[in-house]
Amino acid sequence: MIFLLAGILIYLSFPRFIASIKTLYSDVLVYELDAGALPSEMALLKAQGDLGEAIDWSDSSHYQSQANYLQVQYFLHYTENISDIEGALADIMQSSNLALSLMPVAPYVWYDRALMDSMYTERIPQSLTAIKMSVYADRVNQNLLKARVVFLWDNKGAWDHESRSIFKAQLMLLWELKRRQLIQVLKSNPELGSWLVDGLSTSPDELVKLERLLKKLKLP
């Protein structure tokens, strides 16, 4: 009888095990995306399917957050292949709500939510709230610093006092932790140089380094 029960349990758990194995593929894609590589359309669709199967077996916050992340990446990079844009956005919003209900302190999910909210002009204030939540969840996340700075700068017309303060703090962290990425941002947005000068005004040594960098980049 014991062996029979054990066999039944193994039989019932086998699909869950297979589904979890399949999600290793999505882990690889997330790593590639974080490294700046863009997986193929088919790869992203396959990973989303694998995660959907895993979510059917386990309501895991990890699976749900990855599914939402890959949905967002597919939407951003393969928009031309989406026939129903509004429907796709609605699906992503629903996925985001579920991911946040499972992981309310999730900096990546909040950042992705900000991106999606910013697709609607009337939801720009909500997108800035989502960015704030991303920062509160993990303000020194080095993979998100550049993205947050660029996002906030692109939406500076809707800043409130808190958004402005967060932007300055994230910009300074980008200077301290990811200077090469900061250089990329400066090349596209040279006006940020004055913000850095202001932020480093009480640190003479750092200010000298910045002035040398700006001179090297031939930026004002």
How confident is the prediction along the chain (220 residues), in pLDDT tens digits per residue? 554 444 443 433 434 444 456 666 788 888 888 878 888 999 888 888 888 877 766 667 788 888 889 999 999 889 888 889 889 999 999 989 988 988 888 899 999 999 999 988 899 999 999 999 999 999 999 999 999 999 999 999 999 999 999 999 999 999 999 999 999 999 899 999 899 989 998 888 988 888 888 888 877 6
Domain membership of residue 110 (yes or no) is no
One domain, residues 64 and 144: no
One domain, residues 90 and 137: no
Q: Could you tell me the two tokens for 25? A: 């593929």
Domain, as residue range, for 205:
131-220
Amino acid identity for residue 62 in this structure: H
**What is the pLDDT at residue 11?**
37
One domain, residues 142 and 216: yes
Alpha-carbon distances of 176 from 47, 140, 155, rounded to whole Å: 35, 10, 23
List all residues 6 or more positions away from 157 whose beta carbon is below 8 Å from its beta carbon.
none
One domain, residues 3 and 97: yes
Interatomic CA distance for residues 93 and 85, integer angstroms: 12
Domain membership of residue 137 (yes or no) is yes
Number of domains in the chain: 2
Helices 161-177, 145-154: crossing angle, 10 deg rounding: 140
**What is the pLDDT at residue 129?**
96
Interatomic CA distance for residues 173 and 177, integer angstroms: 6
One domain, residues 99 and 170: no
One domain, residues 159 and 64: no
Domain membership of residue 83 (yes or no) is yes
Q: Which of 104, 119, 153 is a domain's end point?
A: 104
Domain membership of residue 160 (yes or no) is yes
Interatomic CA distance for residues 149 and 138, integer angstroms: 14
DSSP one-letter string for 146-205: HHHHHHHHHTGGG--HHHHHHHHHHHHHHHHH-HHHHHHHHHH-TTHHHHHHHHTTT-HH
Answer for the pair 165, 171: CB distance below 8 angstroms, yes or no.
Answer: no
Domain membership of residue 164 (yes or no) is yes
Which element (helix H / strand E) includes 39? none
DSSP state of 143: T
Q: Which of 62, 86, 104 is a domain's end point?
A: 104
Helices (H) and strands (E) in the chain, counts: 12, 0
One domain, residues 98 and 29: yes
The whole-model pTM stands at 0.81
Q: Which of 69, 104, 139 is a domain's end point?
A: 104
Beta-sheet strands, E only, within 62-101:
none
One domain, residues 90 and 169: no
**What is the pLDDT at residue 65?**
86
One domain, residues 91 and 148: no
Answer for the pair 147, 111: CB distance below 8 angstroms, yes or no.
Answer: yes
**Number of CB atoms found within 10 A of residue 87's CB:** 10
One domain, residues 96 and 17: yes
Domain membership of residue 119 (yes or no) is no
